[in-house]
Chain A
Amino acid sequence: MKKVKVAFFDFTCCEGCQLQVANMGETLLDVLDLIDVVEFREVMSEKSSTYDVAIVEGSITTHHAIERIKKIRKTAKVLIAFGSCAAIGGINGMKNNFDLTDIREYVYQKDAKHFDTIPTRAVHQVVPVDYFVPGCPVYIPEFVKVLKSALMGIAYNVPDNAVCVECKLNENECMYDKGIACMGPVTRAGCNSWCINNGNICYGCRGIVSNPAEKGQKDIMEKYNISLEWIENKINMYNKPRELGELKTNE
């Protein structure tokens, strides 16, 4: 099989998702048998201008980024939105809670006018995306699944059921039974309830299910005495850009 040329690009993000790839260990070697990485800032310096698959990390937050992502889309046969910043806007979306001018001045102070900024967007809110790998950071087994799907040319759908489903299958004690609020009931599964398995709550990093029950959520909040503000903050922590258009997952 001819090796597929793959390029990694980063936009506004912490590059933590690329780091997950660099830390993949043995699976990485198997993956490298199949692909040729032609651009990857985390671990190499050479640049290439031809590639088949573009793996894009980070959200789109400047005019310059819009031009760059359009160019990448033109060159790539397949574009993968990699990590929550790219797939749903992610943490960077918190910026959209504020007035753009105010927040720019707050962050860059007197140099603000030199820094271009636009409301944070997920990649698919700017160019079409073929595959989504949400997660902050990405969950490597899911990334491998997506990569396999991309190489086979078949669709990958991000699960549209709650993290609770995986959490139950892993037989964790529910956080709510410990008196701790958790975002599992509204967050898309696919991470194998990674955080809860390790003793943390679900922060909602993979995005909200397509059909959350607003009334039901309120009942939960009442039952466990959680404030609306807490839920809003937690949802907005990763999902603010969804106001600019829903997360699409190829369904």
Chain B
Amino acid sequence: MEKYVVLKKKDFNDFIAKLALMQTVVAPVKKGKKSFAFQEVTTGKEIALQYIPTILPPKKYFMPQQETIMKFNKAKFEWTPVLEYNEITIFGVHTCDLAGIQCLNMVFTNKPKDINYIVRKDKITIIGFECNAYCDEFASCAAMDNHIPNGGYDLFFTELNDSFIIHVNTLMGEKIIEEISLFSKANDDNLKELEELRTKKREIFKNELNTKHSDLKAVFENSFNSKVWKDIGAKCVACGNCTNVCPTCYCFDIKDEMNLDFNTGSRIRVWDSCQNEDFAKVAGGESFREERANRQKHRYMRKFNYPVDKFSRYFCTGCGRCTRTCMAQIKLKETVNALAEEKK
């Protein structure tokens, strides 16, 4: 049977404080008027429970912006693999970002397996947090079917009137509930309140796009020569923001850094982006995707078309980050709708 427990709102700060004694806790913290970021916290007061998706998604803990993967010693012809990881708990992950982590898991546990990622992922405890209403007008999580929890967490919090109801999903989740003895078993009233909340949510969250979830792939498959890409290409300034903030973009570059002794050094993995000028450049300076229109098309295809063939799921979670951050006001919902409109 599904296991649900309840935490009184007045005990929330105490819960975070106790959790922080068990493990490093990171959670959404307010950084500016509309900006939030996952950061280390030690008390519940630091956490912004009502937040718009953070500047960077939690992917930064699964694949850090900069990661040393090897050390070398030239004179000794030695290569030593390096595994960098921390045992952390991420508190407050929205359902869209849970979906993002599920996508990354598929990519990095599929062949070729990424050992560094897999080891790191197993050290991370995930506590989800439900959105009872939209974060803002840029979200399209309902269209992508990610507004209701669908696994991918150890514990999942939903805010009720004067308590939180928590779904316990893994042994790790169980362990936390046991060790921090602030929880009580959910009773029928609590479960009913959760039920009602979900019903209400179905009223609030409606497909934000003009296309059915199952038809999205076809829209993109038939859009290779669409004029929409040209319009976007003319606007895009190639700042790379949309890919860096996307929870399912995982492209990286590998760099070797020599130390000043000119003998030892390290191999470093850094985030890269298909929007960057040099990304599709090969030796000799030729670029496969000189045109911004083509780079944007590629980005969208990597969300709505290619991954469906490879992983049987869309790689857009509907989090809305790319729209929020775009310097040129390119809006995902508008793009998808325009493509679908053209096809009609």
Chain A residues close to B by CB (< 8 Å): 1, 27, 30-31, 33-34, 144, 148, 151-152, 157, 159-162, 164-165, 168-169, 171-174, 176-178, 184-186, 209-213, 215-217, 219-220, 223, 251
The CA of A185 and the CA of B240, in the complex, are separated in Å by 9
Specify the main secondary structure of chain B where it touches its partner: loop
Which residues of the partner chain B approach A33 to less than 8 Å between Cβ atoms?
260
Q: Assess whether B271 is in contact with A169, with CB atoms less than 8 Å apart.
A: yes
5 other contacts beyond A162-B240, A185-B327, A216-B327, with CB at 8 A cut-off?
A164-B240, A171-B54, A173-B31, A174-B35, A213-B328
Cβ of B344 < 8 Å from any Cβ of A?
A: no
Sample (6) of A-B pairs whose CB atoms are under 8 Å apart: A172-B55, A185-B237, A216-B236, A219-B235, A220-B237, A220-B329
Q: Which residues of B contact A (CB under 8 A)?
A: 31-35, 37, 54-56, 60, 65, 234-241, 244-245, 258, 260, 262, 271, 273, 275-278, 285, 292, 325, 327-329
B237/A162 in contact, CB under 8 A: yes
Are A171 and B260 also in contact (CB < 8 A) when A185-B239, A213-B238, A219-B328 are?
A: no
> Chain B: which residue is nearest A188 at the CB level?
B277
Q: How far is the CB of A2 from chain B (nearest CB, A)?
A: 13
For A171, give its contact among B37, B237, B271, B327 (CB under 8 Å). B37
Cβ contact within 8 Å between B236 and A174: no
Contacts of A219 in B (CB 8 A): 235, 328-329
Q: Is the CB of B55 within 8 A of A173?
A: yes
B277: which of A172, A174, A211 is its contact (CB, 8 Å)? A211
* Chain B residues, CB < 8 A from A162: 237-240
B234, B235, B236, B277: the one contacting A209 at CB < 8 Å is B277
A162 to B240, CA, bound (A): 8
For the complex, what is the distance from the CA of A213 to the CA of B239, rounded to whole Å?
10
On whether the beta carbons of A165 and B240 are closer than 8 Å, the reply is yes
Q: Which residues of B contact A176 (CB under 8 A)?
A: 327
B275 / chain A contacts, CB cutoff of 8 Å: 161
CB-defined contacts of A152 to chain B, threshold 8 Å: 258, 262
Query: Which of B55, B237, B260 is close to A168, meaning CB atoms less than 8 Å apart?
Result: B55
Q: Which residues on the A side are within 8 Å of B278 (C-beta)?
A: 157, 159-161
How far apart sit A217 and B244, CA to CA, in the bound complex (Å)?
20
- By the criterion CB–CB under 8 Å, are B260 and A210 in contact? no
* Contact of A210 with B277 in the complex, beta carbons under 8 Å: yes
Q: Which 9 A-B pairs have the closest CB atoms?
A: A173-B32, A216-B237, A164-B239, A173-B35, A161-B276, A160-B277, A168-B244, A165-B240, A30-B260
- Residues from chain B with a CB closer than 8 A to the CB of A151 are 262
Give the residue name and chain of the A residue nearest to B55 (CB).
Answer: A171
Report the bound CA distance from A216 to B60 in whole Å.
29
Give Cα A165 to B31, complex, Å.
Answer: 18
Closest chain B residue, CB of each to CB of A178:
B32
Nearest-neighbour CB distance to chain B for A61, whole angstroms, equals 31
**Residues A223 and B240 in contact in the complex (CB < 8 Å), given A165-B276, A177-B32:** no
Q: Which of A210, A213, A223 has the most CB of B within 10 A?
A: A213
A164–B242 Cα gap in the complex (Å)?
Answer: 11
CA–CA, A174 and B292, complex, Å: 23
Please, which residues of chain A bring their CB within 8 A of the CB of B238?
Answer: 161-162, 209, 211, 213
Central interface residue in A148, A171, A172, A212, by most chain B CB within 10 Å: A171
Contacts of A216 in B (CB 8 A): 234-237, 292, 327-328
Q: How far is the CA of A100 from the CA of B244 in the complex (A)?
A: 45
In the complex, which residues of chain B have a beta carbon less than 8 angstroms from the beta carbon of A159?
278
> A220 contacts B35, CB within 8 Å?
no
CB of A161 within 8 A of CB of B240, answer yes
CB distance from A152 to the nearest CB of B (A): 7
Closest to A147 in B: B260
Given the known inter-chain contacts A164-B327, A168-B240, A174-B325, please indicate yes or no for A34 contacting B234, CB distance below 8 A: no
Q: How far is the CA of A177 from the CA of B65 in the complex (A)?
A: 23
- Are B285 and A251 within 8 A (Cβ)? yes
